[in-house]
A = this chain, B = another copy of it.
Amino acid sequence: MFDAILQNVTRYVSLTEGEKEKFTSALQPKKLLKHQYLVQAGEACRYECYVNKGCLRQYYVDDGGHEHIIMFAIEDWWTSDMHSLVTGNKALTNIDALENSELLLIERTMFERLLSEIPKLERHFRMMLQRAFISHQRRLIENMSLPADQRYSRFLIQYPQLEPRIPQKLIASFLGITPESLSRIRRSSEVWGRPAAFLIIIDQFNFLS
């Protein structure tokens, strides 16, 4: 149950058995069926969430009722409504399960206490946040500088593990385009093949992982 998450948090730092024990005892296992919510907009998000198995999405619903996917989270990724978690304010986003999922939750105050008591854990999460920050910057740059078809190509190369398990309409939402547009993009790329992958710089930063 805790093997994967322990490997995750010891990616950059090493923990003693005692520290591992302390850490895992703070974890709350939770199962989520497909379509169930982890966080709903309007309520506070009180947990950091590690995905042991399954797939979640975080999305924002705008005034026009349109959904915008902020991120996905599959095995070994973390997710939460960070804004709500940090401020205690009501969440602006929803997080729900795209598949039946198994999660490990850490309650907010417990998380802070753990990080205070185990500086190496604080270090791990600082480094993870750096990577998430980089990942978001890359996505921002791509959204601003690339047309929709190239954003899709980049997505396929950056997240090959996501494409087969996520419905197209959600990928479209993640890319910031309509399902109709993505369908048209896919049709034309069938004819022309994939854009030159070698031109593209792939980095190893997948949001919160």
A residues with a Cβ closer than 8 A to B are 60, 62, 66, 68, 70, 82-83, 86-87, 92, 115-116, 119, 122-123, 125-126, 129-134, 136-141, 143-146, 176, 201, 203, 205
Contact = CB atoms under 8 A, between A and B. Distances in A.
Contacts of A87: 203
Given A86-B131, A138-B83, A203-B83, A62 B145 contact: yes
A82 B140 CA distance: 14
B130 A86 contact: yes
Contact of A130 (B82, B131, B138, B176): B82
A125 B145 CA distance: 29
Contacts of A201: 92
A70 B126 CA distance: 21
- Closest 10 A/B residue pairs (Cβ): A119-B119, A129-B129, A126-B126, A62-B145, A136-B136, A144-B176, A68-B144, A83-B134, A60-B141, A122-B122
Nearest to A116: B123
Contact of A82 (B70, B82, B83, B134): B134
Given A68-B144, A126-B115, A145-B68, A133 B82 contact: yes
Contacts of A133: 82, 129, 132-133, 136
Contacts of A82: 130, 133-134, 137
Nearest to A64: B145
Nearest to A87: B203
